[in-house]
Amino acid sequence: EPEVTQTPSHQVTQMGQEVILRCVPISNHLYFYWYRQILGQKVEFLVSFYNNEISEKSEIFDDQFSVERPDGSNFTLKIRSTKLEDSAMYFCASRSTGSVQFFGPGTRLTVL
């Protein structure tokens, strides 16, 4: 069964460092999303991406964040200068027309 994959599963970084979280959506999917979940809180939307551009972003998704689909298969989330409060589980999701969103297993980001 096709699945969304994410790498790494756990990323530890120092405050102020750049991180790139990688996702490989399901191959025929057209809509891509990033969500995050701070420990103990609910999952929050970050950004949606369609047709090679951002279709919507939340207030959380400030200038420190960017997304890219560099090669037609990977979908990346970059945080330019990490803060302590960026520590969270980051989920990628993808969907095709009319389908549910398929979620990746998540990347746990720890900022020290």
Per CB under 8 A, 69 contacts another protein = no
Q: Which residues of 33-72 are buried (b: 16+ CB within 10 A; e: fewer)?
A: bbbbeeeeeeeeebbbbeeeeeeebeebbeeebebebeee
Shortest Å distance, C-beta 31 to another protein: 5
- Grouping H, G, I as helix, E, B as strand and the rest as coil, residue 86 is helix
Binding mask 89-108 for another protein (x = CB under 8 A): x-x-x-x-x--xxxxxxx-x
CB 95 within 8 A of CB 103: no
Chain positions 19 to 38 lying near another protein, rule: CB under 8 A, are: 31, 33, 35, 37
Shortest Å, Cβ 43 to another protein: 4
75 near another protein (CB under 8 A)? no
Q: Which residue, 25 or 104, is less far from another protein as judged by CB?
A: 104
